[in-house]
Structure 1
Amino acid sequence: MKLLLGLMFMLLGVSRFYAIPVKDNYMSTYQDSAKTFIPEKTSLSSFNVLTVADTAFKVEDIGRLLGKGYGELFTYIDKHKLKAGKVMAFYNTPQLPFVFDAAVEVNRLPVGLTGKIKGKKIKGGDAVVVHYQGPYDQIGAAYAAITKWLKENNKKGVAQPFEVYLNDPVTVKDPQQLRTDVYQRIQ
């Protein structure tokens, strides 16, 4: 199943904690673009997610591995009659090998999770969000905008940023129409 193809570029940007140096002038490429994305301060409520962790040893493997993880998560969610919410991803390392969590918001955390699927409660609080629209391989502009906002507002990021996918690249044929919210919790 071709889920969320192109997610291999999800963290092609810079946050306070994470950067993937794709090319030498990567930052300058996205600093100019950051002007087009305006981060908004928001407040997140706590939420539950089921996750499947994986590791990609090559950038081109991330999309396939995320798709596999989402398949496992939705199979579990259906089997246990959970209500699925937002589809998202959390990255835990800034460079190869990429350690990441495919995640799906759920209405409750089941008791007795075993195996690859883990449950987490994500704390709420202040955050900044960029509403990004466009191809996954250009999402670095959203991260650059967040980095710039943090610096200008004397704020620090808390934990890793995460992405929430608002539509599906399998059904959205024009990559310019892909929509992703990039969140960074702040203090």
Structure 2
Amino acid sequence: MTEYKMVTVEPAAYLYEERTCSMDPKCISEAMGSAFQSVASFIADKEITSAGNPLAVYVTFDPDKMPFRAGFVVSEEDARKAKGDVKCDVLPDGDVLNFVHRGPYAMLRDSYVAMMKHLEVKGMSVGMPSWEIYLNDPSTVASEADLETDVYVTVA
């Protein structure tokens, strides 16, 4: 059973590249992988220290396609080094809903559906942005069932 909790988060600067793809899990995986690799290369070239695991940020919702930002949290100072396709923004502070999705990334959409039902029961709805922090690496876990994704959702 998924545990939903309200948590207070601090603002966090991040570097990212924006992508849009279909809702097909393979397309999402390829687009995110490409964006993460590009931002990681930028960070290495600029000798920036990432402050955490890869993240995806969603600032809009479209039922037919998936626009997202893929990147890494960095210091405010390093965020100002953004250039070209690598942009910067700040995750908001305040109270957000948090839960951990365990299992394949392709099943994240099921976790979001369950979360929306939870919010509806509580009289709340999803706001923007929402973001996911990937707690482990698919290339290093024994199986996709071992993947963990920390999800943060702004509520309205």
Residue number in structure 1 paired with 2:10: 45
4+ aligned runs moved over 4 Å, structure 1: none
Check conservation: 1:87, 1:165, Cα contact below 8 A. Answer: yes
> How far apart are 1:42 and its partner, in Å?
0.8
Query: In 2, distance between residues paired with 1:39 and 1:97?
Result: 26
Q: CA RMSD in A?
A: 1.9
Question: Which whole-Å deviations, capped at 9, do the CAs of 1:130-171 have from their partners, x for residues lacking one?
Answer: 111111122233212321222222223331322110001011
Residue number in structure 2 paired with 1:106: 74
Query: In 2, distance between residues paired with 1:171 and 1:161?
Result: 26
Residue number in structure 1 paired with 2:116: 147
**Partner secondary structure for residue 158 of structure 1:** strand
Check conservation: 1:131, 1:181, Cα contact below 8 A. Answer: yes
Question: Which whole-Å deviations, capped at 9, do the CAs of 1:66-113 have from their partners, x for residues lacking one?
Answer: 111111111111122222123111233433332221121112344353
Count of residues paired in the alignment: 152
> How far apart are 1:57 and its partner, in Å?
4.3
> How far apart are 1:122 and its partner, in Å?
1.3
**Unpaired segments ≥5 residues, structure 1:** 1-35
TM-score (norm 1): 0.73
**Unpaired segments ≥5 residues, structure 2:** none
Residue number in structure 2 paired with 1:74: 40
Sort the Cα spacing of 1:72 and 1:40 in 2 relative to 1 into closer, same or farther, 3 A. Answer: same
TM-score (norm 2): 0.86
Query: In 1, distance between residues paired with 2:154 and 2:136?
Result: 22
